[in-house]
Amino acid sequence: MRRLPARSRVRPRPWSSRRPMRRLPAAESGHRAPASAAPAARRPAASASHAFAFRCAAFALATAVLACGSSPDGGTGDADGADAAAEAADVPHEIAADVPGGEDAGADESGGGDVAEALEDEPDDETEDAGDPCPPLMALVDDAFCIDIYEGRLEEQDAAGTWSAAEPYFTVGARIVRAVPAEGAVPQGYISGGEAQAACGRSGKRLCTSDEWLVACQGPAGHVYPYGDEHIDGACNDRYAGGHPVVDYFGTSEGVWDMAHMNDPGINRQPGTVAPGGSFADCSSDWGVLDMHGNLHEWVADADGTFRGGFYADAVLNGPGCLYRTTAHDSTYHDYSTGFRCCADR
């Protein structure tokens, strides 16, 4: 291959003598003008520099890291560097410069932005639960007190201190028991007012006062029945289909009206007697409290002894609906028809 004389070789012109590229105005190019008034210094249009600028701009867009800190020819990753990368990669200047160290370097660089704010605003279930004014399965009444949504059942404690569900058909006797709402379970009958108060107390609750019970049953409008002012057949468990549960069980009305017979567990084991809590969904007060009429009598906090609401075989003798009230027995009395529910301070 013939070698040209030295003076005939083509030499590149010095950078300072090259004709600069015409820079379009921002409005014409569609890109935002750089923050600096001074035009950005041009880099040599060498292929290596172009490749690096393209790779650098793409990497910055994908990862938002300080990948454009320097270029092969010694440039720095300032706004001019972002501008050069944008031109080389045909990426809008706004995007190329909107990385740490670019022309928006003064903006929030946390990378979270609205996402971080959304995460901060995400509700915390534990916090919301902690702010609930009532324990689980209790309803807030009149913004004043809490009441169990369901009638009460019992848990009993064994010698090892373990709690387990108690049969609802036996008297309490010497057992250590505590109260829990009978959601989907047969509530406890055969319980006295004093035993009910103690069971509520072991659960951090108490018996409702007579006034509290009445407000919870009647609702803000003061209804006669939990659901309204007129009786609705089948809404509550207040119509026993047999003759009388004690007579039906023993087959006679003679000699069965004593404490021993009326606390026989077989009475409430008969079909059509006491129903599991929540079985009668329409028997609900405006506060969402269930079974306050019928099913079982419910003891209230009265030293002289009072239970309210009626039970499955008699819900009319001592008053209609929520107004039913029995005061004939002291708080030590119990039989198959006596139950309870707990209240708590909010």
Closest-CA residue to 211 (of 290, 310, 142, 293) = 142
E-strand ranges in 82-205 read 138-141, 145-148, 152-157, 163-165, 177-181
Domains defined for the chain, CATH in brackets: 29-110 (no CATH), 131-346 (3.90.1580.10)
pLDDT at 247: 98
Would you list the DSSP string of 62-92?
Answer: HH-SSTTSB-TTS-BSSHHHHHHHHHHHT--
219-268 pLDDT tens trace: 999 999 999 999 999 999 999 999 999 999 999 999 999 999 999 999 99
Span 79-92, average pLDDT: 41
Query: How far is the C-alpha of 124 from the C-alpha of 238, rounded, in Å?
Result: 43
168-225 pLDDT tens trace: 999 999 999 999 999 999 999 999 999 999 999 999 999 999 999 999 999 999 999 9
Decide if 283 contacts 291 (C-beta within 8 A).
yes
pTM for the whole structure: 0.64
Over the range 148-161, which residues count as b (16 or more CB within 10 Å of their CB) and which as e?
bbbbbbbbbeeeee
Decide if 219 contacts 263 (C-beta within 8 A).
no
pLDDT at 258: 98
96-122 pLDDT tens trace: 333 333 333 333 333 334 333 333 344
Q: Which residue has the higher pLDDT, 224 or 7?
A: 224
Closest-CA residue to 82 (of 100, 67, 92, 97) = 97
